[in-house]
Amino acid sequence: MIRFENITKSFGKRQILRGVNLEIEQGKTTVIFGVSGGGKSTIIKHMVGLLKPDSGEIYYRDQRIDNINESALREIRKKIGFLFQSGALFDSMNIAENVAFPMREHQNLTPKDLEYKIDEKLTMVGLDPVVVKSLYPEELSGGMRKRVGLARTLALEPEIILYDEPTSGLDPVTSDFITQMICRLRDEIGMTSVLISHDIAESFKAGDNYAMLFDGVIVEAGDKIAFQDSSNEVVQQFIHASSHGPIAFH
């Protein structure tokens, strides 16, 4: 569904991506692992055109997107949902207005249809519309804000969702709920998802395919069994970091 071919990216003199090759399979959840500051967020920002590569090519459904104009890119972005780590809700808007925002921007819905869609999306992420619609983000817990962010991401019914650290800062119960939602979207409506995460346990519950970014390149990619059985030292060190303390890459 998305394909990177030898993507490079530098910021100033620092090269972040040194030739990334990656394929995102339709209807599957792909998890991208890597150390902090290693370029994971840079990868998903390239997927929605927030960043342009220095070299290489990016394809969405076999259409090259790294060199298209802003108008064409805007149409691609409608098909790709992006859930930011913070949820990125508008503090000045209540929950109903937050979820409605992309639909008001991109769709011409009647008030009745808009209300139905708001309720539908909130219900999909396990929130009671009657209870939460009139509340403001500051009145919600971190986990609820994350769910509202996901409801807003689902508003335009994207073909693929990109998750930036979806369980970061959440308690174990809420983290597990978010993971279950990601799995449910895949299983019930065939949603394609890309996760970047440090949460090993939750990621192995949610993912179908895995990729390890290290030193600017993908050093391993495959399904869960292939990834866990990888002989790559970086991969094994990362997988076992949760039980052996911080990773000490050399």
H or E, element range at 169: none
Residue 243 is predicted with a pLDDT of 47
In this prediction the pTM is 0.87
Mean pLDDT of 185-199: 90
Residue 47 within a domain: yes
Cα separation, 159 vs 140, whole angstroms = 28
pLDDT surpasses 50 at 189: yes
Residues listed for the chain: 250
Q: Could you tell me the residue range of the domain that residue 3 belongs to?
A: 1-79+206-242
Q: Which residue has the higher pLDDT, 170 or 115?
A: 115
Write the pLDDT tens digit of every residue in 62-82: 999 999 999 999 889 889 998
Averaged confidence pLDDT in the chain: 90
Tell me if 34 is assigned to some domain: yes
Q: What is the pLDDT of residue 86?
A: 63
> In this predicted structure, what is the pLDDT of residue 87?
63
Q: In sequence order, what DSSP letters do the residues of 92-111 get, joined into one string?
A: TS-HHHHHHHHHHHH----H
The CATH number for 72's domain is: 3.40.50.300
pLDDT tens for each residue of 19-64:
999 999 999 999 999 888 889 999 999 999 999 999 999 999 999 9
pLDDT at 166: 86
State yes or no: pLDDT of 198 exceeds 80: no
Q: Provide the residue type at 171 as one letter.
A: D
For 144-150, what is the mean pLDDT? 90
Q: Is residue 26, in this structure, part of any structural domain at all?
A: yes
Number of domains the chain is built from = 1
Within a domain: 50: yes
Contact 189, 125 (CB under 8 A): no
Residue 224 lies in a domain: yes
In this structure, of 40-49, 127-136, 192-201, the range with the lowest mean pLDDT score is: 192-201
User: Does 52 reside within a domain?
Assistant: yes
| Cα torsion 151, 224, 245, 213: sign | negative
Span 205-219, mean pLDDT?
95
